[in-house]
Structure 1
Amino acid sequence: MKPLRSLSAAALVSSLAAAAIPAIAADAECVVPSKPGGAMDLTCKLARKALQAKPDAPRLKLSYLPGGIGAVAWHTMISQRRADPNTLVAFSSGSLLNLAQGKFGKATAGDVRWVAALGADFGMIAVRADSPYHSLADLVEALRSDPQKVLIGMSGTIGSQDWIKMALLARRAGVDPKQLRFVALEGGGEEFTAMQANFVQVISGDTSEAALYADAGKVRVLAVLAEHRLAGVLSKVPTAREQGYDVVWPVIRGVWVGPGVSDADYKRWVQAFDRVEAAPGFAQMRSEAGLFPFSLTGDALTTYIKQAVADYNRQARQFNLVR
């Protein structure tokens, strides 16, 4: 991943004062393409917090448009609000994976205007705090013994990034991914709710979501899918690689606008996030949201995303998820 521009907190007010965004309405919107409580929700909340430091900056309200693991929000914006200059939509690497597999129909990465990546996240595997699985080895042994007895919660269906994370882990452990039992859920918030209710015993999710619950002692994170251990709440959690399973899954998080948004309005959003991400205080905000440094905006982000979609397409073909 490319390094991010560092930022800090109190000076954000003064830096945003200079970052006037005259063509963006005082009341803008960030659409969360999932139910409340997951990392998409966190993305819009981070954008709102960063932009609201000055009274005359856009007041970003959040709205929720779940369904189809992002497909409903994507098609609603493209068909009904494609030229709305005052609406952002949250995205993640999972959105890009869906594009790569054709889960948004004939949609392509070129169908929207990519504004900003706000940070990076990583995959993780978690269980309830009272689970009999205390390590990744415990979970793998249970899956080898009888994969049908372990219900795994995931956001999305077969082929989603949560599915692929577990499929990669299973493959490394010598378990056929087709033997695993998954429960399809709508977003990270619903995954943790289902696990706390014991509808599923394991969840494949993201570290930003896990950090919300691990600190409260509600869950036990068995592994983070990062190259190295992470700072913060999950600092004591070993990586999957440390435990003998070479699975790394980074996740970028950011926002886009509709394809009909004018060049002038698009550039103002890009400039707004350039200033926000370069301002003192943003690094702390990003960390508090459970994200790690990764900043790209505008054309650079668009180039990155088109390459990422191509890479995801090749990876999906390894599991026969696309033709």
Structure 2
Amino acid sequence: MKTRTKTKLALATASLIIGMTSGLSNAAEPLITGKVDCIAPAGPGGGWDFTCRSIGRLLNNFSHGDLTVQTLNMPGAGGGVGFAHMITKRSHDPKVLAAASTATTARLAQNQFPGMSSDMVRWVGAIGTDPGIIAVSKDSDIDSLATLITRLKNDPSSLTFAGASAIGGWDHLKILMTAHSAGLSDLKQIKYLSYNNGGSAVTQVVGGHIDVLVGVASSTKGFIESGDLKPLAVLGHDRLSPPLDSIPTSFELGLDVEASNWRGFYMPKEVPEEAYQWWVNNLKAASQTDEWKQTMVQNGLEPFSLFGEDFDQFVNKQVGSLATISKEIGIIK
């Protein structure tokens, strides 16, 4: 590869962040140029599609045409088709990424990708998150997460929870993780109703038809600001951005629960280490640009940055914890 090409893309990559340290210049070696596929393992318009297209557009702009990231929609098996494609067809290819989220780890934990596991790919980084949230209607007599937990301990079936995922899906798992962290053991008794989307679940709780909402910050923000929903906790380490920064986190309330829907990427297991580190460094750089921060604000996402080995360890720990919960409620054996 010509030195001129290396220099050009190194400068383009360095322009991702104004004022960053010289560590970014190392991200340009080895150089990855030309067409790159970002697999969105679902149809157009969903979260994985958004992740690929948003970061792809950002990297395209800053590489001045030397890097072209195209989104490759590959729906099927809840992300399993894309995961299998990465493992079986692109195992040594440094010019392919795939979008992932907490839905990916939940399905891996529940063996929904037969014969595949989280250690069969390399986890590159997380670039943002939609934090999980627990909320009740404004008229509910549940005034805190502690009150909710006390009621569940007295009678696990006394409350009904609403979410947008299926039974055993991510919204369902959020309340199970919370209850498990609080010391509840009979998780099967906790009642959960699944709705087609987050909006329907919110409407049922706001209307007083369902006791508790288990959702995400992006779809509840407007209802919290209007006073129709009363938030009990954000399920993670960090508080939400203003004006919702008064909501306590699960960790502040003494519960070890990280239940945000992170957005991130994985790539083939057998790529060279230099190529893996190139993507780690460049995605980290992209996640810190003003352009990406504005994209997060516009789409209701919060900062969540984990890269390289830190992200890999996070993913595998999450898969393990979700597998434990799933076994306890009988989803898997």
- TM-score by length of structure 1 reads 0.67
Matching of residue 99 in structure 1 with residue 108 in structure 2 = yes
2:165 corresponds, among 155, 159, 165, to 155
Which structure 1 residue ranges, 5 or more long, are not aligned? 1-10
Corresponding residue SS for 1:229 = coil
Matching of residue 292 in structure 1 with residue 298 in structure 2 = no
Aligned length, in residue pairs: 304
With over 3 angstroms needed to count, the CA separation of the structure-2 counterparts of 1:65 and 1:180, relative to structure 1, is farther
- The aligned residue for residue 16 of structure 2 is 12
Could you report, residue by residue, the CA deviation over 1:262-297 in whole angstroms, capped at 9, with x for unpaired residues? 6565444334224434x5537734752522242312
Greater mean deviation of Cα atoms: 105-114 or 136-145? 136-145
With over 3 angstroms needed to count, the CA separation of the structure-2 counterparts of 1:228 and 1:72, relative to structure 1, is same
Note if contact 1:50-1:285 (Cα within 8 Å) is conserved in structure 2. no
Larger relative CO (CA 8 A, sep 6+): 1 or 2?
Answer: 1
Matching of residue 182 in structure 1 with residue 192 in structure 2 = yes
With over 3 angstroms needed to count, the CA separation of the structure-2 counterparts of 1:96 and 1:60, relative to structure 1, is same
Corresponding residue SS for 2:197 = helix
1:47 corresponds, among 41, 52, 55, to 55
The CA deviation at 1:82 is 4.7
The CA deviation at 1:36 is 3.7
Corresponding residue SS for 2:257 = coil
Note if contact 1:24-1:85 (Cα within 8 Å) is conserved in structure 2. no
Corresponding residue SS for 1:246 = coil
2:198 corresponds, among 184, 192, 203, to 192
Pairing 1:1-323 to 2, within 5 Å after superposition: 12=16, 23-26=32-35, 28-33=37-42, 36=45, 38=47, 40=48, 43-44=51-52, 46-48=54-56, 50-54=58-62, 55-56=64-65, 58-62=67-71, 64-80=73-89, 82=91, 85-126=94-135, 135=143, 147=157, 150=160, 152-158=162-168, 160-170=169-179, 172=182, 177-184=187-194, 191-195=197-201, 198=204, 201=210, 203-208=213-218, 210-211=220-221, 221-227=231-237, 229-240=239-250, 246=255, 248-251=257-260, 252-259=262-269, 261=271, 265-277=275-287, 280-281=289-290, 284-285=293-294, 288=297, 290-297=301-308, 299-319=309-329, 321-323=331-333
Structure with larger Rg? 2
Note if contact 1:25-1:58 (Cα within 8 Å) is conserved in structure 2. yes
The CA deviation at 1:255 is 0.2
Distance across 1 between alignment mates of 2:159 and 2:325: 28
Aligned AA (2:198) = F
The CA deviation at 1:111 is 1.3
Could you report, residue by residue, the CA deviation over 1:61-85 in whole angstroms, capped at 9, with x for unpaired residues? 4455555443343234434555554
Distance across 2 between alignment mates of 1:219 and 1:52: 40
- TM-score by length of structure 2 reads 0.66
Distance across 2 between alignment mates of 1:219 and 1:49: 35
Distance across 1 between alignment mates of 2:109 and 2:68: 33
Could you report, residue by residue, the CA deviation over 1:111-157 in whole angstroms, capped at 9, with x for unpaired residues? 11222222455321246x78757755687799888958846224243
Aligned AA (1:100) = A
Which structure 2 residue ranges, 5 or more long, are not aligned? 1-14
Aligned AA (1:152) = A
Note if contact 1:31-1:89 (Cα within 8 Å) is conserved in structure 2. yes
Q: CA RMSD in A?
A: 4.6
Corresponding residue SS for 1:231 = coil
Distance across 1 between alignment mates of 2:224 and 2:75: 25
Distance across 2 between alignment mates of 1:157 and 1:68: 16
With over 3 angstroms needed to count, the CA separation of the structure-2 counterparts of 1:79 and 1:156, relative to structure 1, is farther
With over 3 angstroms needed to count, the CA separation of the structure-2 counterparts of 1:247 and 1:311, relative to structure 1, is closer
Note if contact 1:35-1:65 (Cα within 8 Å) is conserved in structure 2. no
